[in-house]
Structure 1
Amino acid sequence: MAKRGKQHTRYGNDRFTFETDGGFETKFMHSGEVEALVTAQTAELAGKMVKAAPRGPHVTTDEFSIKKNITPYVEQVGHEWVGYIVVEENERARHAMLQEEGYRDPAGRRHAGRFYLKKVLESERVG
């Protein structure tokens, strides 16, 4: 029969024992230093996405510009800080993802995607 409740894991040898329930990971992940690091990394990634985004036809109106609709957010989820990058927060600026993946115009012609978001994410990928 399986045990109920929180299970503790112990690793070690004759001189050292490590228990995963020590609590230092939780305290560290809640710290302000981790929040600052996640905020900095999220802002840097969002900046790269804004730089890679196409200008589009809406040069004079910021409301519909792709570059103005890429926004970083950081929030605490459970025991960790998580960074999000939101594209197209304005529902009237629908063209950002059309530029990313491609689209067909009303005449039926196919326009290839630019994959600018995918290229930025792939450049930031580890290993």
Structure 2
Amino acid sequence: MATPKRGKQHTRYGTKDFTFETDMGFETKLMQSGAVRAVVAAKAGEMAGSMIKAAPRGPHVTTDAYSIKTNIHPYVEQVGHEWVGYVVVEENDRARHAMLQERGYRDPAGRRHAGRFYLRSVLQKERVE
């Protein structure tokens, strides 16, 4: 078993004409900049907005605090040397029905309710090919 190298690590990849080294310096400064954070926050916000728009409405007669639409939030945090955007669905533990609406479920009487796949459809629309 080889011992791990110490010191600065970097990777190289590319084609025969171009080689990219991840430890060149400017990429790290760029990925930590406020402009990149703003772009990541904007894209995470757009995706969260699309998910909120696509989320099904529920029969919330007394309160809307546990509805799916009010429990989808975008977050941005720094992971390592770059900004990462997240869309959190239902961090409220009392509102557990978003994934049931997404994937489908069986009610206590045994009837199957089909999933709506609203989160998957938004993710498929936002993907880059």
> Shorter-chain TM-score: which interval?
0.7 to 0.9
Alpha-carbon displacement from aligned partner over 1:80-115 (angstroms, at most 9, x marks no partner): 100111111111111111000000000000000000
Establish whether residue 98 from structure 1 lines up as the match of residue 100 from structure 2. yes
Alignment map for 1:60-99 (pairs within 5 Å): 61-99=63-101
Q: 1:44 aligns with which of 39, 43, 46?
A: 46
Tell me the residue number matched to 2:111: 109
SS at match of 1:76: strand
Residue 18 of structure 1 deviates from its aligned partner by 7.2
Offset from partner CA, 1:25-69 (integer Å, 9 cap, x none)? 000000000000000000000000000000011265221111000
Give the superposition deviation at 1:4. 2.6
Q: Which has the larger radius of gyration?
A: 1
CA distance in 1, matches of 2:42, 2:13: 34
Normalized against structure 1, the TM-score is what? 0.86
Q: Which position in structure 2 is the counterpart of 1:14? A: none
Q: CA RMSD in A?
A: 2.4
Alpha-carbon distance between aligned partners in 1 of 2:56 and 2:20, rounded to the nearest angstrom: 51
- In structure 2, runs of 5+ residues without a counterpart are none
Gaps of 5+ in 1: 12-16
Q: Displacement of 1:10 after TM fit?
A: 9.8
Q: How far does residue 22 in structure 1 lie from its aligned partner after superposition?
A: 2.4
Q: Structure 2 length normalisation: TM-score?
A: 0.84
Number of residues paired by the alignment? 123
Percent identity at matched positions? 73
Q: 1:57 to 1:32 in 2, by over 3 A?
A: same
After superposing on structure 2, the runs of 4+ consecutive aligned residues of structure 1 that deviate more than 6 Å are: none
